[in-house]
Structure 1
């Protein structure tokens, strides 16, 4: 009877484990690290859901969408977290995503009305430098300088794609000439943000494509005021990062619950000091001390969501042509 009781107990435990719903979220690499938002978000959501939240890191944001396109309706993802405004239209065209009821009073620089793609943070792209570096204040001056920069590949990285859109939105048909001028300044092009920022911190370049909020990490987490974002008089390109539910999710109600949770203080309150971006919904505690020191662009640039795919193709062709010469 002792062995029967043990076997019965093990069966009951394994059955309970098997019944625990699993929520699979595809995201970008830096989100799911010990210093990123992933661990805190996972613990906070699992405390409310009686579920097992599993993040799957799939490269940078553009790589995440590429993986979803390859997997199609067979994907194991229930939610994707880490696409942005430049990828929303392309993501919608796949037909893989479903509307959600998650809504909030967003604290974004722009109006956001979408029933499928839910913002979770935002920021402005910028070149980060050492604070004492006398950096150019526009792309033409940067191209004419001898400064070395590291950027990310727009085919795999959302910051890399944002840079293409930034240049294109400022210069339009002159963009190829801008890239020709910048080609000598680019030390290397990395697959994702983490690799590029690491090279900058290692002293391999004078500046790195990142965000106006990146210096807050050094200031708050490291008590180091030696990094700054270079203000560009032409304006800075806006990024809004979003999450969405997959239409073929096996746990659609759980996916909706996560998207709604994403807009609460439990999620939004950790974004500023783990993802080092502005929260999409202002948490009760507000922004951490140190964010008031960041540069605030005079002009916010953004290509309309619906126009992004066509402009991306044109800008990518111009970028590849300039860097291949």
Structure 2
């Protein structure tokens, strides 16, 4: 699932980002997305371990997904209660910096992420690649490319996320643009017939998928690993696309 994206810089990046403020206050408030704080997400374990180290109370406040997270912080402005915002990605960092709400962090030059890292405001805590995950019991022949997904049968439905609220949804928007260029609007017109529904965030989309509402969902190449480890099943697989997959680096700031 999404939680297994963590190639986890989380242990170093998040702790280095939070350690300073935590020593100065009794409660540290972290805004993040729902799948991070869910019972099956990393949030509960992070809270337990971090509170033991910092001697503080760690409070998570969650919203549907990363774009909604930035929207909330911008709406709250300087009055926001967030000490840390965890769950934006690199498609949002320029907009986040422009808000003037985020302070520079310490040196993270030693972090190992694709393309290295030199941002002085945000700390990466995981990375992964977007993928179309499919149910092998419902779809025997998955699409082999983004173009095949777009131009394939309208009977093979997919659940996707809203780019106005979700980082995977925004990632798909940019992925289609990178493959189709100026013809992206035509591609979306074709894809529309295959979309079962558009959800506010990743959790809702993946929940519909695992309940059997659609044979495909926009998720991550690592999603099948969760099912293999937690459920001992290989039923869910990530389609391998000829164009390659779209990289996402999630950050905290």
Give the Cα–Cα distance (whole angstroms) in 2 for the partners of residues 88 and 96 of structure 1.
12
- Distance in 2 of aligned mates of 1:191 and 1:26: 17
Distance 1:201 1:50 in 2: 39
Q: Secondary structure at the match of 2:47?
A: helix
| Alignment equivalent of 2:120, drawn from 105, 115, 118 | 115
In the alignment, does 2:201 pair up with 1:192? yes
Q: Secondary structure at the match of 2:246?
A: strand
RMSD (Å) for aligned C-alpha atoms: 1.3
Structure-1 residue corresponding to 2:35? 30
Deviation at 1:177, TM superposition (A): 1.4
CA distance in structure 1 between the partners assigned to 2:188 and 2:115 by the alignment:
28
Partner SS for 2:213: coil
Q: Displacement of 1:126 after TM fit?
A: 0.4
2:79 — aligned with what? 74
Report the counterpart of residue 26 of structure 2 in structure 1: 21
Q: TM-score, normalised by structure 1?
A: 0.68
Unmatched runs of 5 consecutive residues or more in structure 2: 1-23
In structure 2, the partner of 1:289 is none
1:58 pairs with 63, 70, 76, which one?
63
Length-normalised TM-score, structure 2: 0.86
Count of matched residue pairs: 226
Deviation at 1:188, TM superposition (A): 0.5
CA contact (8 A) 1:102 1:118 kept: no
State yes or no: 1:151 paired with 2:165.
no
Matched, 1:139 2:178: no
Offset of residue 104 of structure 1: 5.0
The aligned residue for residue 241 of structure 1 is: 250
Question: Is the contact made by 1:20 and 1:50 (CA closer than 8 Å) also made in structure 2?
Answer: no
Residue 229 of structure 2 is aligned with which of 220, 229, 234?
220
Q: For residue 232 of structure 1, what is the aligned residue in structure 2?
A: 241
**Which of 51, 55, 65 lines up with 1:46 in the alignment?**
51
Segments of structure 1 that go 5 or more residues without pairing to the other structure are 1-18, 245-325
